[in-house]
Amino acid sequence: MSPGVAELLLQRLEQEAPGPGPGGGLCSLEAAAELGLDHQTLVGAVKSLQALGEVIEAEPRAATRWELSAEGEAVARDGSHEVRVFESLPAEGLPQSELMELPGAKVGFSKAMANKWVRLDKEAPGGPRVFRAVAAVQDTVQESLRRVQRGEAASLPERDRADLKKRKLLLEVTLKSYWLRKGSAFRTAVARQETELTPEMIATGSWRQRPFKPYNFAALGLPPACGHLHPLLKVRSQFRQIFLEMGFTEMPTNNFVESSFWNFDALFQPQQHPARDQHDTFFLQDPAEAPKLPTGYMAKVRKVHSQGGYGSQGYKYKWKVEEARKNLLRTHTTAVSARMLYRLARQEKFTPVKYFSIDRVFRNESLDATHLAEFHQIEGVVADHGLTLGHLMGVLKQFFTKLGITQLRFKPAYNPYTEPSMEVFSFHSGLKKWVEVGNSGVFRPELLLPMGLPEGVTVIAWGLSLERPTMIKYGINNIRELVGHRVNLQMVYDSPLCRLDA
């Protein structure tokens, strides 16, 4: 703040009567004009004086006024476009192509035609020709703009002002100002207030005579410079917390590269299944094959695929170990679940387990608003005696309720490794439609019994993507705005903590 400007303002305000209170006062616009100052400079002094306490009272005010635009100034000076077009036409008319070369002719011709001041003869020799249709015209647009210049804008009909504003000849400008009054601690001298207590002030005792600026306890501090979690990570942490609250153990999912055996064959998915085609799965060239597979277990898987067993007739095809050895980027984390169930079957005594995992999977998908080629899969697996489809639906309802998703629908589906199977849908208020958020089912005996699990053991499982629940929670309509190069970093900064309703 410039002390000179502030003191000039205080001296001018001192002349106003009756002093502190509701009466009297001064407009900052008028004060700036009287003192020969720029209004913004005066506003800066007002704000600085406000920081000193009750020296002045400043009431914000706003007023609107009408001003001519640069084009409006030209029209007020030279006449409207339509009148200039009219006056440029001689008695014998003018070719339309020649008329359109004049400044402002496009707007002027359109307005003159609308006013029926001119007519267009399309059959004239040499091409379309424009003629006067009336003997004389009155330039009401120029007259209206000159009235605004004289300060008579309020007397113009509302319709005329709206038309001039639409033509961008007239501008409605909002003026912000302050109504200034003396405060309860008004004074004409500006004393600089101290903002810092120094060791020298304490040592000399000078702090007792110096005015200090009041401490503003309501002021917000600067936000700390730090990183911010992506919405996916916020939702992921909540998913993980929900699983832990429900008594689940997290599975190790650090191997993105998986063999076709664990990704497909161990899950009773036939080798000629369309999902094993290169159009749906990313296969690796180096290393192309898995070096080692469990021989005894692989033989049981071969038999149940090609010949059947455990009450199943199998798929009746020639199972090839070469197909099982092919490496790929895992298409689902169920491959990890298969490994964990195989490890469970090798224990001396079966114990019920609840597993979960959250990690990336890869599928050769066409990208759209709800699909990516790389995404996260969340999976839950429960193994125990006597589990049924009712248990699965109950666990799913409890799980999704903890996510704050209560609008659920179940739809029968087919999966090679679960029977019965269900797709889970939730209503997306942003997309205004039901969106698939997960798949679920009861693992088939052809999957479990070759592993060596007891016959009475049932395994229920479900999987869902991390991205779609995040889209629902944060109201994001396009998954490409959540993951990838189109992510708005400001969105990452502004997104609140994920609080899933329990």
pLDDT above 50 (res 502): no
Structure-block tokens of residue 302: 């071969």
Question: Domain containing 202: what range?
Answer: 3-63+172-208
Same domain assignment for residues 198 and 165: no
Q: What percent of the chain has pLDDT over 70?
A: 94
pLDDT above 70 (res 495): no
Same domain assignment for residues 86 and 197: no
Which residue did the predictor score with more confidence, 481 or 348? Answer: 348
**What's the pTM value of the predicted model, to 2 decimals?**
0.54
Burial class (CB in 10 A: 0-12, 13-18, 19+), 481: middle
Which residue did the predictor score with more confidence, 138 or 489? Answer: 138
pLDDT per residue as tens digits for the range 181-209: 888 878 887 767 788 889 999 999 998 98
The whole-chain average pLDDT of the chain stands at: 85
| Least confident window among 113-122, 247-256, 449-458, 476-485 | 476-485
Same domain assignment for residues 42 and 81: no
Domain closes at, from 170, 196, 216: 170
In this prediction, residue 467 carries a pLDDT of 83
Residue 215 inside a domain? The answer is no
In this prediction, residue 126 carries a pLDDT of 84
Same domain assignment for residues 379 and 397: yes
Residue 213 inside a domain? The answer is no
Same domain assignment for residues 163 and 263: no
Burial class (CB in 10 A: 0-12, 13-18, 19+), 186: middle
Q: Please, which pLDDT band fits residue 311 given cuts at 50, 70 and 90? A: confident
Cis link prior to 420 (omega < 30° from 0)?
yes
pLDDT per residue as tens digits for the range 417-454: 898 999 988 887 777 888 887 889 999 999 999 998 98
Same domain assignment for residues 162 and 300: no
- Exposure string over 488-500, b if 16+ CB within 10 A, otherwise e: eeeebeebeebeb
Same domain assignment for residues 362 and 244: yes
In this prediction, residue 398 carries a pLDDT of 87
Cis link prior to 22 (omega < 30° from 0)?
no
Residue 226 inside a domain? The answer is no
DSSP assigned state of 485: T
pLDDT per residue as tens digits for the range 113-163: 999 999 999 988 888 999 999 999 999 999 999 998 988 888 888 898 889
- Kindly state the average pLDDT of the residues 3-8: 80
pLDDT above 80 (res 235): yes
Same domain assignment for residues 238 and 166: no
Same domain assignment for residues 191 and 318: no
The identity of residue 262, as a single letter, is W
Query: What's the CATH number where 330 sits?
Result: 3.30.930.10
Domain closes at, from 170, 195, 217: 170
Residue 159 inside a domain? The answer is yes
Domain closes at, from 147, 170, 193: 170
| Least confident window among 125-129, 229-233, 271-275, 470-474 | 470-474
| Least confident window among 62-76, 277-291, 388-402 | 277-291
Residue 250 inside a domain? The answer is yes
In whole angstroms, what is the distance from residue 182 CA to residue 345 CA? 86
Residue 46 inside a domain? The answer is yes
**How many domains does one find in the chain?**
3
In this prediction, residue 1 carries a pLDDT of 43
Q: What percent of the chain has pLDDT over 90?
A: 29
Same domain assignment for residues 242 and 332: yes
Query: What's the CATH number where 49 sits?
Result: 3.30.1370.240
Residue 218 inside a domain? The answer is no
Same domain assignment for residues 193 and 292: no
The identity of residue 131, as a single letter, is F
Residue 221 inside a domain? The answer is no
In whole angstroms, what is the distance from residue 481 CA to residue 93 CA? 59
Query: What's the CATH number where 75 sits?
Result: 1.10.10.2330
In this structure, the number of other CB atoms found within 10 A of the CB of residue 217 comes to: 5
In this prediction, residue 141 carries a pLDDT of 92
Helices (H) and strands (E) in the chain, counts: 19, 15
Burial class (CB in 10 A: 0-12, 13-18, 19+), 180: buried
Q: Please, which pLDDT band fits residue 342 given cuts at 50, 70 and 90? A: very high
Same domain assignment for residues 100 and 138: yes
